[in-house]
A and B are shown apart, each in its own frame.
Chain A
């Protein structure tokens, strides 16, 4: 028996793996000490647990445990990386390069830095969501302190050419930072192999608990430093003060270890399920995949169903927890800026649904989703005046619409 509703929103967050929860539990009631308490056993056991988790996480990304700075999540890690580097390297330069399809945690932080007098270049992307490497090469100068390009996009799953991008940044003496929130635990993210100097990621996107994330900060070749954005007791080598979330960190560590062991098999399994879902849904007339189909996270599919509004469709497939690029719920009525950056017109952006599969997705759930979405699209198209006009051969662009 299928249990409804079915979760297909694993880019928003993931279910905490029961093995992770099990690892965390003793750190609430038994080993509840403050990892910074240096003078008693409660503190020592907490510190040992944090050290172990730091090692589990570092191993997963090919780093040294001293290079892991614990934070409250990826948003804080992104803030710390951008503001911390901009401040620490202010004498070297005042320029940052990033991309229009970054997460708001990067884009809004970049805007704050602009207001503080920094210069920021926002690179566009092509229809697949990829930046142009020649363009990057042209905008990075001696005054550029940081190139910030996300590893994989949260809406469409497109994976940037990180190796080539970091090489260009390094050639000009800039540091390379990547928001790898969607990538760590899903695809290989070895920091040396990809030439990464700083990397933001978070536990809850990789089957760990919410409220804990990390910033990887390189210690050798080059030694990178960031100015703290949270002042206090000088935790995390002075880069992030605040009592460590010991149970959260233990869970994060366990999640990283599970990912290290299971990630590749899981990626192969999920890519097959995702392809099954996508191939079946593409049998529906006037249906399009958004973003690159080749350079993509294995568990994501973002599809536009033409002449069907995304939020309306979500209501008809209410047994499926998905997300949409339609902005019907937002006051601005603006659809997804990521989809618009790909060159999609607003209508197709409003018509998009993101399916995010995960560790607990079963083939039965995928088959149910296929039938359910097909029926939902049919229902919405029967209701859609645009679909009727399209079927009558009317060019929708020829109509004088009344935008409101």
Chain B
């Protein structure tokens, strides 16, 4: 199965690889997946508390090319969005953008989970309720 050009582009030149200081109150960290499943994504956002805008996003991913591309793309989309706007990022948009085949849809789901987990970590740190997301429970 060949990868799409966009997957190859993100894989070859991943955007926003790195680590933010997870102890900072302005940083939200999402760590999703499991080593035994072959995919782990860590996605981090840094939020400007005045404007609620995501000023920085970083990721590291253990997984296949599609998982790496999904998380790289998610960090690109996160920057400049407000926290509320970021919640609109859903996995099917990632699937379409990267032309992921059906067997790789779980990679996009994981990226969406990582975004939500990072936002919720930021919210909880700042005294807010986590966003309930029933669709987080992907079987």
Give the B-binding residues of A (Cβ under 8 A): 307-312, 315-316, 326-331, 333, 335, 345-347, 350, 382-388, 396, 399, 401-404
Q: How far is the CB of A375 from chain B (nearest CB, A)?
A: 13
- Contacting A at CB under 8 A, from B20-58, are 31-42
- Stretch of B64-72, B75-83, B119-127 contacting A (4+ beta carbons < 8 Å): B64-72
Tell me whether A388 and B19 are in contact in the complex, defined as CB-CB below 8 angstroms, given that A329-B1, A345-B36 are known contacts: yes
Docked-complex contact B36 and A384, CB < 8 angstroms: no
- Beta-carbon contact of A311 and B40 below 8 Å: no
The number of A-B residue pairs with CB atoms under 8 Å apart is 100
**Category for how many chain B residues contact A:** 20 to 34
Interfacial residues, chain B to chain A (CB-CB below 8 A): 1, 3, 11, 14, 17, 19, 31-42, 60-65, 67-68, 103, 106, 109-110, 113, 138-139
Task: Check B65–A315 contact: CB distance below 8 A.
Answer: yes
A326, A328, A388 — most chain B CB neighbours (10 Å): A328
| Bound CA–CA A25/B12 (angstroms) | 44
A337 to chain B, nearest CB (A): 14
| Cβ-defined contact, A388 with B34, below 8 A | no
Pick the contact of A386 from B32, B35, B138 — CB < 8 Å? B35
Instruction: Say whether B32 contacts A402, CB under 8 Å.
Output: yes
A312-B39 Cα distance, complex, nearest whole Å: 10
Could you list some 9 contacts between A and B, CB below 8 A?
A: A311-B38, A328-B64, A347-B35, A385-B41, A388-B60, A402-B113, A404-B33, A404-B138, A404-B139
Task: Please tell me if the beta carbons of B60 and A385 are within 8 angstroms of each other in the complex.
Answer: yes
Task: Flag if B63 contacts A315 (CB, 8 Å).
Answer: no
Q: Which of B37, B38, B39 has the most CB of A within 10 A?
A: B38
Shortest Cβ gap from B110 to chain A (Å): 7
Closest A residue by C-beta to B14: A383
Could you tell me the dominant secondary structure of chain B's interface residues?
A: mixed
Chain B residues with Cβ under 8 A from A404's Cβ? 32-34, 37, 39, 106, 109-110, 113, 138-139
B106 contacts A401, C-beta separation under 8 Å: no
A384-B62 in contact (CB<8A)? yes
A396 touching B1, Cβ below 8 Å: no
Contact A333 B17 (CB under 8 A): no
User: What is the chain B residue whose CB lies nearest that of A316?
Assistant: B11
With A385-B61, A388-B19: A328-B38 Cβ-Cβ less than 8 Å: yes
Chain B residues with Cβ below 8 Å from A350 are: 35-36, 38
Contacts A383-B17, A388-B19, A404-B110 given; indicate if A315 touches B64 (C-beta within 8 A): yes
Asked whether B37 lies within 8 Å of A346 as measured between CB atoms, the reply is yes
**Beta-carbon contact of A308 and B62 below 8 Å:** yes
Residues of B within 8 A of A401 (CB): 33-36, 40
Docked complex Cα distance between A401 and B63 (Å): 15
Residue contact A307 to B62, C-beta cutoff 8 Å = yes
CB distance from A380 to the nearest CB of B (A): 8
Cα A387 to Cα B138 with chains together (Å): 26
Chain A residues whose CB sits within 8 angstroms of the CB of B11 once the complex forms? 312, 315-316
Contact across chains for A384 and B60 when beta carbons are under 8 A apart: yes
* B60→A312 contact, CB < 8 A: no
Shortest C-beta distance, B63 to chain A (Å), equals: 5
Assembled-state Cα–Cα distance A326/B3 (Å): 17
Residue among B64, B106, B110 with the most chain A CB within 10 A? B64
Give the nearest-CB partner of B66 in chain A. Answer: A328
